[in-house]
Amino acid sequence: MTIMSIAAKAAPAQSLSKEQIRKHFRKCDKDGNGFLTKQEIKEAFDRLCALFPAYRTRKAIAIADENGDGCVNMKDHEFEALIDYVYNLAYTKVNTAKRV
Ligand SMILES: [Ca+2]
Ligand SMILES: [Ca+2]
């Protein structure tokens, strides 16, 4: 038995795919301006049921915001850096009902 199959058995909940995460963050661009602000990203983490959404938001911006404007540009690779970061955290669900 490989390590991967043991890990899969121990964690029955499937983590979100990159495509699911992308969709989720696109939805969180509330004003549709193509940039995710700190507030929009925090809401996205809230909906992923993150334990420390404010901390995650700071980290995500530190990693993804290459030009330092405080937002993640969804039209260039800042967005992909954000998706990679979130993907590696292996969230398993998006809470669409919760009001934040
Ligand atoms: Ca926006
Ligand atoms: Ca930026």
State the SS3 of 60-93.
Answer: HHHHHCCCCCCCEECCCHHHHHHHHHHHHCCCCC
Ligand with the closest atom to the CA of 66? 2
In this prediction the pTM is 0.84
Task: Give residue-wise pLDDT tens across range 54-95.
Answer: 999 999 999 999 999 999 999 999 999 999 999 999 999 999
Ligand 1 centroid, distance to 27 Cα (angstroms): 10
CATH of 15-88, one of 1.10.10.10, 2.60.370.10, 2.60.40.10, 1.10.238.10: 1.10.238.10
Ligand 2 centroid, distance to 58 Cα (angstroms): 13
- Token pair of 42 as six digits: 């925090």
Cα radius of gyration (the chain): 14
Task: Give residue-wise pLDDT tens across range 16-54.
Answer: 999 999 999 999 999 999 999 999 999 999 999 999 999
